[in-house]
Structure 1
Amino acid sequence: MSDGKNTRQWNTLDKDLNRISQIETAAAYVSRPLIGPGIALAFIILAGIAAAVFFGQTPTSFVVVAAAAIGAYMALNIGANDVANNMGPAVGANALTMGGAILIAAIFETAGALLAGGDVVSTISKGIIDPETIADPSIFIWAMMAALMSSALWVNLATVLGAPVSTTHSVVGGVMGAGIAAAGLSAVNWATMSKIAASWVISPVLGGVIAAAFLALIKTKIMYQEDKIAAARRWVPVLIAIMAGAFAAYLALKGLKRIIRIDIVSALLIGFGFAVLSYFVSKPYIRKQSEGLENRNKSLKTLFGLPLIISAALLSFAHGANDVANAVGPLAAIVHASEFGDFAAKVAIPFWVMVIGALGISFGLFLFGPKLINMVGSQITKLNPMRAYCVALSAAITVIVASWLGLPVSSTHIAVGGIFGVGFFREWHNNKRRARLNIAAADAPVIAKSERRRRKLVRRSHFMTIIAAWVITVPAAATISGVLFFLLNALL
């Protein structure tokens, strides 16, 4: 009798424990999405505390504390959105795991920001507005605060929607909107704005054309050869040399500003030297890697894996060096104006400000980056190591060409444009091959229009979403910034 009673008690206890475990599982499931925002909020608070430590005794310390918190928020959003363009192709091509990509990007983004980030940044973001039109330093501070906040809010919204946008153009729009709100339309340098508008079209198209051209070269010289391995031994070292030269010139132009100022001719000479050296170093490496490989296209992916990983790391380094200013440029301007009571066209970046930018980019990538990395790497078009390599190579070359032409470009537009270029080239190439094989339309199976659209190699829904986000980035950030400036000016 007692055994039956004990059994019922144990059954009741098991049921109660099972209910508790289900509640714990549900609680863990519900709370998991809150971990990232919680860590991000803690980082933003720590950035404000750091600013309070450095500026706690000044009369305008609360302004600097608020600006540091907003700058940290902007840096988190840059990491969540912009860094996906560097790592997305390598992850989509399965050359890197998501964890490996995040680790490499965090290390090289931070190194680029701290080692090669500029000592001096433009407080007016590439000369968008004339500083003399804003005579009052306090108005200038509110304008920069509004610009920083609006660009951060816009990039955050774009990340939630899954659209890779240009953080550079977001800051440009924010500064423009605040400048118009503070001093009218005459404050804006419309000649500079027209160049930026031209870059919206030129940089992605140029990136796409260059990526497609290199993919055509790989297909013609390697993939369609009878002896693919022999062709790879001959051409892959050439492609690696081009990559090394392009990235050496790219880093010389964009990533070494803190160490030395280099013009386009010197950068090209540096690139040529690295190209020659890389060719002779990579030739025996590729020969060794290709030993025992089967004579088929799938085997060729092995030869592009390591160069693709290296290119992704170098892109992250250059991005950290170049784009950290998007997070800390307006913040540095606010710190300078608060400390000295005036403003200048260029200011030095305090080290603690640069640390906020560098760490914020890394935290943003780690906490929120996987969503955009997956989208860029696998949801626009299917990538393999050869195609992803073409995208990375086109990014470096396009920046060099744009610098030579004097065009302000966005790394986001170039990288995503390269992915579109690769995808659309494959569509065109496949259609051309079908036509060459004389596949008559009458003999082909009838396929519904919706199914034909689904079978396209570039997903049109993502294409239209991204293009729309690019077009409205500057006006959206400018509108938000103007509204925020009026609110801040009225309240404070």
Structure 2
Amino acid sequence: MDTTLILIAVVVLMAISFDFINGFHDTANAIATSVSTKALTPRMAILLASSMNLLGALAFTGVAKTIGGKIADPFELENGLVIVLAALIAAIAWNLITWYLGIPSSSSHALIGALTGSVLVAAGTSGVNFKGFLTILQALIISPFAAFAIGYIIMNILRFLFKNANPRSVNRGFRYMQIVTAAFQAFSHGTNDAQKSMGIITFALIAGGLHQTMEIPVWVKIVCALAMAAGTSAGGWKIIKTVGSKIIKLQPISGFSSDLTSASVIISATLLGQPVSTTHVISSAIMGVGSAKSVASVKWLTAQRMITAWVITLPVTAIIAALCYSIISIF
């Protein structure tokens, strides 16, 4: 029992660390456009993102239940705590590597890939709920395409509506409106991303025999929400630079369009209980908005680098988690 309690404590601390890192890793995505267009100062953007992330994290639990129960059944797995620990180590390592390199990769892909890899090496293919995994994978794949298409449509509609308006007045108006969409963006980020750590902790509590249902304990919701908000306040300036300026040159109207698009896609996924990559969705929305202006205006080399990171995240984190599980199991 002592060993189990120690493992649970370590897993909870690691999950909180993942949430904190996720906060500063993905905060950039939520506020990059508003900072880039000077709708908000960096300090104000981070304060807004922190508070709205906190509210969003406390608002929903559907995604947490999906992460905690649809990839594998925590009630059936042996060594469930070691499985979760290995997954968290792999996901955190990948997040830190991509953050250091300034690549807006996906924390969601990292965690889902790592958990799947850890379960596979621990319990084989029978341990993975492939139906649930494929449902999650489907949401991860569809959401960026939806964001690209919606961003393209919204930007074209706005360009048509304001084609004869004074550009300076349009920019000033949309700069104010970006404050609202930045808040919506940060809220939606909290509703989806903070849920992932809640699901992992609940998974660990069930595996350790300290919890009997997939209902998320109140203390888990509060701790994960605070960790996400704290991480958000730490910021992620390298990724802000990549998302805010290295995909397209943003103006307030395009920043508004991309924020509205990505926040709408993320909150829709949350309402369906599906984890999506906020990084993928936001970056794809910016690309869609940029393409509406001109395909040539999108810096496709940067986009290609980001897409490469997205594609390799699932298999790489699965392999790292499998290695971590094998090493931890020795002890």
**Structure-2-length-normalised TM-score:** 0.89
Indicate yes or no: 2:18 matched with 1:78. Answer: no
1:425 & 1:339 partners in 2: Cα distance?
53
1:310-338 CA deviation, whole Å, 9 max, x = no partner? 12112212322332122232223323443
Deviation at 1:357, TM superposition (A): 2.1
**How far is 1:462 from its partner?**
1.4
The 3-state SS of whatever aligns with 1:83 is helix
User: What code does the residue aligned with 1:411 have?
Assistant: T
Structure 2 distance, partners of 1:123, 1:460, is: 34
State yes or no: 1:346 paired with 2:194: no
Deviation at 1:461, TM superposition (A): 2.7
What is the DSSP-based 3-state SS (H/G/I as helix, E as strand, rest coil) of the residue aligned with 2:283?
helix
Q: Give, as a single letter, the amino acid of the residue that structure 2 aligns with 1:459.
A: K
Q: Does 1:188 align with 2:132?
A: no
Q: Distance in 1 between matches of 2:183 and 2:330?
A: 45
Q: Distance in 1 between matches of 2:12 and 2:267?
A: 33
Corresponding residue for 2:172? 302
1:151 is aligned, of 91, 103, 116, to 91
Residues 43-63 of structure 1, C-alpha deviation per residue, up to 9 Å, x if partnerless? xxxxxxxxxxxxxx9663322
1:172-196: per-residue Cα shift (whole Å, max 9, x none)? 1121111101110222233333344
- Distance in 2 (CA, whole Å) between partners of 1:401 and 1:358 is 20
Q: Does 1:140 align with 2:7?
A: no
**Alpha-carbon offset, residue 127 of structure 1:** 0.6
Paired residue for 1:211?
151
Alignment partner of 1:464 is 2:331:
no
Give the aligned partner of residue 70 of structure 2.
127
Q: Alignment partner for residue 478 of structure 1, among 318, 325, 331?
A: 318
Match of 2:45 in 1: 101
* CA 1:346–1:354: 2 relative to 1, 3 Å: same
Letter in 2 for 1:417: S
Q: Which SS does the other structure have where 1:409 is aligned? A: coil
Identity of aligned residues (%): 29
Q: Report if aligned partners of 2:8, 2:81 keep a CA contact under 8 Å in 1.
A: no
Of residues 251, 254, 257 in structure 2, which corresponds to 1:390? 257
Q: Cα 1:329–1:193, aligned 2, differ >3 Å: closer, same or farther?
A: closer
Larger Cα Rg: Structure 1 or Structure 2? 1
Which of 376, 380, 389 is 2:243 aligned to?
376
SS class of match (1:168): helix
Counterpart amino acid of residue 484 in structure 1: C
Distance in 1, Cα, partners of 2:271 & 2:4: 42
* 3-state SS in 2 of match to 1:60: helix
Q: Secondary structure at the match of 1:108?
A: helix
Structure 1 unmatched runs, 5+: 1-56, 229-295, 429-455
**Contact between 2:11 and 2:81, CA under 8 Å: does it hold in 1?**
no
- Show the 5 A alignment for 1:260-299: 296-299=166-169
Seen in structure 2, the aligned counterparts of structure 1 residues 415 and 118 have a Cα distance that, compared at 3 Å, is same
Which one of the candidate residues 427, 434, 442 is aligned to 2:294? 427
Alpha-carbon contact 1:131-1:345 (below 8 Å) kept: no
Matched letter for residue 384 of structure 1? Q
Report deviation, 1:390. Answer: 0.8
Question: Is residue 125–residue 171 contact of structure 1 (8 Å, CA) maintained in 2?
Answer: no
Once residues 174 and 160 of structure 1 are traced to their aligned partners in structure 2, the CA distance between those partners, rounded to angstroms, is: 19
Contact 2:81 2:204 in 1 (8 A): yes
Q: CA deviation at 1:119?
A: 9.0
Shift of 1:466: 0.7
Q: In the aligned structure 2, how far is the partner of 1:325 from the partner of 1:126?
A: 13
Residue identity in the other structure for 2:230: F
Q: Does 1:487 align with 2:327?
A: yes
Q: CA deviation digits over 1:336-370, x for unaligned, max 9?
A: 44353xx656143241x334322322332333422
CA distance in 2 between counterparts of 1:69 and 1:200 reads 27
Cα pair 2:50 2:229 within 8 Å, conserved: yes
The separation in 2 between residues aligned to 1:408 and 1:68, in whole angstroms, is 20
Provide Cα deviations, 1:363-402, integer angstroms capped at 9, x if missing partner: 3233342221222112211111100111122124434666
The aligned amino acid for 2:123 is A
Match of 1:169 in 2: 109
When the two structures are aligned, how many residues end up with a matched partner?
A: 331
Say if 1:194 and 1:457 are closer, same or farther in 2 by CA, change over 3 A. same
One-letter amino acid of the counterpart of residue 166, structure 1: S
Cα distance in 1 for partners of 2:67, 2:326 equals 19
Whether the 8 Å CA contact 2:25–2:236 is kept in 1: the answer is yes
> Which residue type is aligned with residue 196 of structure 2?
N
Q: 1:309 to 1:459 in 2, by over 3 A?
A: same
Q: Is the 8 A contact 1:123 1:332 kept in 2?
A: no
CA distance in structure 2 between the aligned counterparts of 1:405 and 1:346, rounded to whole angstroms: 17
Alpha-carbon distance between aligned partners in 2 of 1:152 and 1:356, rounded to the nearest angstrom: 18
